[in-house]
Amino acid sequence: IQNSRLEFLARKIYHYPSIGSTNDEAKKLAQNGAPHGTLVIAEEQTGGKGRLGRRWVSPPRKGIWLSIILRPSLEPYQAPRITMTCAVAAAKAIRKVTGIDCRIKWPNDLLVKGKKVAGILTEMSADMDSINFVVTGIGINVNNTNFPKEIIETATSLKLASGKNVDRLKILTEFLSQFEVVYRCLEDGEFGKVLEEWRQLSCNLGKRVRIIGRNYELEGLALDVDGNGALLVKTNEGTVERVLSGDVSLRE
Ligand code: BT5
């Protein structure tokens, strides 16, 4: 990492052999003033987290389990842009290093041949009109060869997809340099470029989707994603609904 040309990312690195959750650790560090760009990374997570208290399986040395502390100049409602930035950077890094056709599934997954290879969890500390910090965490399955039975049908790794071992350090360094480039667009008022890349890498747009929220379900055609991360869905009744990423899951 030291050798790569990074300007703000990973100037400070916290590396753990084993930890509960890199996101939780990053939030603590951020609360204690850790600077923009701080990287928290672990070989293993014993309490890796997904959204809504779900579990993220993070076995030792098989994947990349990391969190980045950011202090972006965004309004709180724009925070989903960070998840989009992270997804674009990771998809590009995976494609570049392995040649695998990795796609973004709205809002926070990366898929290879329809199976989940990575997930993103973005958490924020903010008041009404300003962000204190954002922690964006990503788990990438790199050399996993088996998964617990509840996800055996839905999960994959770069190794399973490519048939060979993949160098975790190469994926990590490429991800960090892509993240810097994409993040700079975001800060420079060029989020349109990120959005365009996101669209190109998406596997949902133009397809039928089913959105499952806490107390509603919605079916329709995924038309587009907007600059704040909402999915625009044309329902069977012909209306266009703007779905925020919050608490929903999405099926084909
Ligand atoms: C996510 O949540 O996909 C976000 C995952 C974020 C993980 C990173 S690792 C570093 C950082 N520190 C943390 O503690 N978390 C972040 P969600 O969309 O809620 O998906 C969770 C669901 O994915 C689970 O309920 C399982 O069904 C499935 N799953 C769990 N572990 C998986 C894995 N390793 N690979 C593929 N699918 C998995």
Is the predicted pLDDT of residue 1 greater than 60, yes or no? no
| Residue 214 sits in the same domain as residue 190 | no
Is the predicted pLDDT of residue 167 greater than 80, yes or no? yes
Q: Which ligand 1 atom is nearest residue 63's CA?
A: 34
Is the predicted pLDDT of residue 104 greater than 90, yes or no? yes
Range of the domain at 214: 208-251
Question: Residues 25-65: pLDDT tens digits?
Answer: 999 999 999 999 999 999 999 999 999 899 999 999 999 99
Residue 89 is classified by DSSP as: H
User: Among 23, 40, 52, 56, which residue has the most ligand 1 atoms within 8 Å of its CB, making it the best to mutate?
Assistant: 56
Euclidean distance between CA atoms 181 and 204, whole angstroms: 24
Euclidean distance between CA atoms 105 and 201, whole angstroms: 9
Name the domain count of the chain: 2
Residue 150 is classified by DSSP as: G
> CB-based burial of residue 80 (10 Å sphere; 0-12 exposed, 13-18 middle, 19+ buried)?
buried
Average pLDDT score over the chain:
95
Identify the residues whose C-beta falls under 6 Å from ligand 1: 21-23, 45, 48-51, 54-58, 65-67, 108-109, 116, 119-121, 137-139, 141, 151, 155
| Residue 94 sits in the same domain as residue 191 | yes
5 lies in some domain: no
- Cα–ligand 1 centroid distance for 37 (angstroms): 22
What ipTM does this complex have?
0.99
The mean per-residue pLDDT over the stretch 87-114 comes to 97
Which of 159, 182, 201 is the C-terminal boundary of a domain? 201
Euclidean distance between CA atoms 90 and 46, whole angstroms: 23
E-assigned strand segments in the chain: 13-16, 39-42, 63-70, 102-105, 109-112, 115-126, 131-141, 208-212, 217-225, 231-235, 240-243, 249-251
